[in-house]
Amino acid sequence: MFFVFKLDPALMNLLLNIPMFFLGWRLLGQKVFVYTIIGTVSVSIFLKIFLLYEINIHIQDDLFLASLFAGVFVGVGLGIIFRYGGTTGGVDIIARLAHKYVGWSMGKTMFIFDAVVIMLSWLTFLDSRSMMYTLVAVFIGSRVIDFVQEGAYAGRGAFIISEFQNEIADRISNDMERGVTVLRGFGHFTKVDREVLYCVVGRNEIVRLKNIITSIDPHAFVSVTDVHDVMGEGFTLDEEKRPLD
């Protein structure tokens, strides 16, 4: 709207978000509503400041570097806001609704909607080169948003089915000093009750875990999944702290 109709971006950001305020209040609750007002007003204020006082960083000739830093900084900022229950209005509210009711990640939802807006802008005023670099920035931002929301302490979770579950569990506990949980499972095809081992290890330990399993049972079934925001002993636990009696 700024490039086509010369409208004030700060003012339009507030006006266009009024319907989104009520949508967030009705579907996401009063807390999100309050955070959304704070976030939207803050964005409008800083938009006005940056329009009045130009800040030159001198990377305008390197669009890739500008896209990279823009995506990282926007992703970190929005990721922190989303992680603690806030939004900045607009697509943020739609992303939170999609996350709540559909299960999509907020970064993925924002990338889809922003990509649509960028393509529409390309059809009106944006040149092809700027459009592609803007897509790069939005994609990087969406990945950073999900990374910040999911947490920095990530690992790998492994489900292990084997006839030698005790030997495998002992090796994992003794050699890797990782905990192992025994789950009760039932094979639908074999109609047999089986014990399923589950353990979480660091990303750099997954190869060692696989080697331990295959050295004991080459025919073991192993399913490895990404585990985000791992907390507790072996990952984020402060050893100086003790449980309350």
Between CA 235 and CA 177 the distance in angstroms is 12
Between CA 56 and CA 9 the distance in angstroms is 20
Q: How many CB atoms lie within 10 A of CB 50?
A: 12
Q: Are strands 221-227 and 155-161 parallel, antiparallel or unpaired?
A: antiparallel
Whether 107 and 49 share a structural domain: yes
Residue 119 corresponds to which amino acid?
A: M
Whether 89 and 140 share a structural domain: yes
Between CA 21 and CA 121 the distance in angstroms is 25
Q: What is the DSSP letter of 85?
A: T
Whether 31 and 113 share a structural domain: yes
Between CA 148 and CA 131 the distance in angstroms is 26
Whether 43 and 146 share a structural domain: yes
Q: What is the pLDDT of residue 211?
A: 94
Q: How many CB atoms lie within 10 A of CB 54?
A: 6
Q: How many CB atoms lie within 10 A of CB 239?
A: 6
Whether 116 and 208 share a structural domain: no
CATH number, residue 184 = 3.30.70.120
> Residue range 184-204: average pLDDT?
89
Between CA 77 and CA 141 the distance in angstroms is 10
pLDDT band at 37; cut points 50, 70, 90: confident
Whether 190 and 89 share a structural domain: no
Q: What is the pLDDT of residue 165?
A: 93
Between CA 143 and CA 18 the distance in angstroms is 28
Whether 197 and 96 share a structural domain: no
Expressed as residue numbers, the domain containing 182 is 155-227
Whether 95 and 120 share a structural domain: yes
Residue 1 reports pLDDT greater than 80: no
Chain segment 7-18, per-residue pLDDT in tens: 677 788 788 778
Q: Locate tokens 């994609």: which residue?
A: 139
Chain segment 150-159, per-residue pLDDT in tens: 766 668 899 9
Residue 193 reports pLDDT greater than 50: yes
Angle between helices 9-16 and 30-52 (to 10 degrees): 170
pLDDT band at 92; cut points 50, 70, 90: confident
Between CA 28 and CA 101 the distance in angstroms is 11
Q: What is the pLDDT of residue 243?
A: 42
> Residue range 170-191: average pLDDT?
91
Chain segment 199-216, per-residue pLDDT in tens: 998 878 889 999 999 999
| Most distant CA pair in the chain, distance | 71
Between CA 40 and CA 29 the distance in angstroms is 16
In this structure, is residue 101 part of a structural domain? yes
> Residue range 50-74: average pLDDT?
81
Between CA 4 and CA 84 the distance in angstroms is 35
> Residue range 129-158: average pLDDT?
85
The model's pTM: 0.64
pLDDT band at 228; cut points 50, 70, 90: confident
Q: What is the pLDDT of residue 26?
A: 78
Q: What is the pLDDT of residue 83?
A: 82
Total of domains in the chain: 2
